[in-house]
Amino acid sequence: MKNKITDTSKQKDLENYQKDMTDKALTTNQGLKVNDTNNSLKSGERGSTLLEDFLLREKITNFDHERIPERIVHARGSAAHGYFELYESIEEYSKAGIFTDTSRKTPVFVRFSTVAGSKGSPDLARDVRGFAVKFYTQEGTWDLVGNNMPIFFIQDAMKFPDLVHSVKPEPNKEIPQAASAHDTFYDFVSLTTETLHNHIWAMSDRAIPRSLRMMEGFGIHTFRLINDKGEAHFVKFHWKPTLGVHSVTWEEAVKINGADADFHRRDLWDAIEAGQYPEWELGVQIVPEADEHKYDFDLLDPTKLIPEEMVPVKIIGKMTLNKNPENFFAETEQVAFLPGHIVPGIDFTNDPLLQGRLFSYRDTQLSRLGSPNFHQIPINRPVVDTHNNQRDAHMQMEIPKGQTAYFPNSLSGGCPHLSKMAEGAFHSYEERIDARKIRTRSESFSDHFSQPALFYRSLADWEKEHIAAAYTFELGKCNHDHIKQRMLWLIAQIDSDLAKTVSEGLGIKIPKKIEQPINQAIGADADVEKHQPGKKKIYLEKSAALSMANTKFESIATRQIAVLAADGFSMKNYKSIKDKLEKEGAVVKIIAPHGGSIKCDQNMDYKVDAAIATTESVLFDAIYIPGGEKSVNTLLKNGKYLKFINETFKYCKAIAVDDEGEKVLDNSFASNYKDDKAIHINDSAADFVKSIAKHRNWDRRSYSDMVPV
Ligand code: HDE
């Protein structure tokens, strides 16, 4: 079995379950051929429908039961298949085959998600993104169920239902959908200071990614790696996208949700269909066991990250997503991730959030998928064989043979038999524990301000401005002043300038102290006193890795470029730009006054990708306007084209125009800023490419902020 597993093993397994309907007759579930699926059986042409109609009943019954409960969190998701390759063995740390065997291509299935919204909610909600990876390894399935931010809101699983209830729509009115900007969330956050670190990340542009392919992933918890000598190291897992980490602005996000609520899902699907496969490198931060207590924070506290400057991220492999699912429900909806799925060489730590997750995921799958046999659903089946004495239950798909279903037995020769560690059996890491049974929180978890402050200090000015705007927007949507005041007081503990800007935006003063101390507000007994947040520490001035200003700006692959053109556009202009952009991997789309096709100045037909009425500028990364008198005059008659340019200018994206195309620019808000470095007038295509690769020209914002779109 061992050497037979390849990157396509899971695909081959899934093919056994796929159904191709081509050239097939329509049948009932019993295989009966059907000659009418449009009309029910009636007593006479205008008579009542007969109970006898088993065709009607089968069709309707199936339909009535099509839905399963959506996930309580992470309901909205999109997924893809791919594989993971290891660059170099890390056998000194882990004996896991996936971390030691560089010849393997391990199949993976990855699901990205938002957290708070329902299954049909828009993709660009301000939210954390789930980043769940199922590795179908030769030693069994390993699930790395992470997020796109390196920390979490709470320190103990016990608080998870409270956190989720506070952010979900308010229970009396089921408002708002997929949004954190409401009273209950801020009531909870302002009373639960451990949330502040993840919260400030959620206020940053990380919460509104440009693409699922342009965000990082993190395992968050500290895990353990175990080598073949049984030695342990602590580890944090990181996914780094090869395209860099990029986001949209909040104003764009709001518009994208209206223009294309499936923006991220479509982008992932289209990139894979076009053969532009999303890639992430896997990195590990390794901490020797001896260093467990070396840091100013506790490695078991999931609200803390280890700055990369303190422990570098070692890149060890790459994941490539190269295939879309065949069926959304069967794969993306039915996939079940469990942090408890690990393989020899990887183990847990006592992080109290992780420990709770080890219970929750199997439990939730039972009600979501309806049976403990959910591991038999094709997408959830490991690529290795499974044998045990667990039996029966709803939807048993296998036919276990033999007289025995217990261990030990002699009637079946002791089978299925146990394995030794040397034969690959899992063995829990033997951690020495000498402790009291106690319901409390460790003092070492009590610093709630140092890391949000480190994050904020590490950002570029434009990132800081976006955070201030996000706090102002979110708190501005709350109705209760005491909640806003409590939040302002807490933000001031993170950074006084930030609090000042938010307070001006809200028109509310930062309180000198809060009326009711947080420990009283939570109705706590004396014991909670000692868990009040400690003083802010500065153990690192800045961490460059936390700022998106320091990400990669090398490629324009998969960037969407809108060409604004009508009949009579200059073919020469267009071709030279298009060829260069496409050579660099960008996607060039003609946006014309109508669908179908338009003619260039050489009278040749060009297929239109979208009529201007059906699309919006916020769906694109840059704009190009070729010359051609007739084309440009047509564009000038339609205000939507000017809106395209004004918005693209406002959101600091690259614009290129050639020849008469400049006239359109002259009529826009960009007309006075022709020396802006991301505005190209008769420039080389190579310069335009460089500006697109930079993602945005944030220097522009001092004047583009005034554009009223
Ligand atoms: Fe989850 N989480 N979670 N979570 N989580 C679920 O499991 C839970 C947490 C994450 O694409 C649920 O199958 C608890 C942290 C992702 O299918 C549920 C706690 C992180 C996904 C659940 C956490 C995550 C989930 C809902 C606190 C990042 C989507 C449906 C102890 C490391 C997986 C499901 C997918 C889904 C529980 C906290 C990531 C209810 C109790 C921290 C990516 O079991």
d(CA 557, CA 588): 11
For the CA of 218, the closest atom of ligand 1 is: 32
Report the distance separating Cα 93 and Cα 385, nearest Å: 27
Residues 531-547, mean pLDDT to the nearest whole number: 87
**CB-ligand 1 contact for 100 (6 Å cutoff):** no
| Mean pLDDT within 529-542 | 77
Residue 636 pLDDT > 60, yes or no? yes
Nearest-CA residue for atom 14 of ligand 1: 357
DSSP track, 278-315:
-EEEEEEEEEEGGGTT-SSS-TT-TT----TTTSPPEE
pLDDT value of residue 520: 52
The pLDDT tens digits of the residues spanning 354-363 come to 999 999 999 9
Known binder of ligand: residue 266? no
Annotated binding-site residue? 368: yes
pLDDT of residue 526: 41
Overall average pLDDT of the 198-215 stretch? 98
pLDDT exceeds 80 at position 2 = no
Q: Is the CB of 134 under 6 A from ligand 1?
A: no
Q: Are the CB atoms for 339 and 354 separated by under 8 Å?
A: yes
User: Is 479 noted as a catalytic residue in this protein?
Assistant: no
CA 536 – CA 466 distance, rounded (Å): 23
CA-nearest of 645, 624, 639 to 692 is 624
pTM over the 0.90 mark: yes
Q: Give the pLDDT band of residue 528 (cuts 50, 70, 90).
A: very low
Active site residue 147: yes
Residue 146 near ligand 1, beta carbon < 6 Å: yes
Q: Is residue 130 lining ligand 1, measured as CB closer than 6 Å?
A: yes
CA torsion 507→511→512→516, rounded to 10°?
170
Determine the Cα angle at 301 with ends 498 and 197, to 5°. Answer: 15
Q: Is 71 in the pocket of ligand 1 (CB under 6 A)?
A: yes
Domains of the chain as residue ranges with CATH: 553-704 (3.40.50.880)
* Confidence at 1, pLDDT banded by 50, 70, 90: very low
Task: Give the tens place of pLDDT for each residue, 122-148.
Answer: 999 999 999 999 999 999 999 999 999
Cα–Cα distance for residue pair 103/138, rounded to 1 Å: 12
**Digit-coded pLDDT (tens) for 272-328:** 999 999 999 999 999 999 999 999 999 999 999 999 999 999 999 999 999 999 999
Q: Rounded to 10 degrees, what is the CA torsion of 540, 545, 550, 555?
A: 170
Residue 175 carries which DSSP code? B
For the residues 414-440, what does the mean pLDDT come to?
A: 94
Report the nearest atom of ligand 1 relative to the CA of 302.
Answer: 42
Q: Known binder of ligand: residue 559?
A: no
Q: Is 364 in the pocket of ligand 1 (CB under 6 A)?
A: yes
ipTM of the complex: 0.96
pLDDT in tens, 405-414: 999 999 999 9
Centroid of ligand 1 to alpha carbon of 221 (angstroms): 13
As a three-state string, the secondary structure of 106-128 is EEEEEEEEECCCCCCCCCCCCCC
> How does strand 140-147 pair with strand 105-114?
unpaired
Which residue in the list 74, 246, 375, 531 is annotated as catalytic? 74
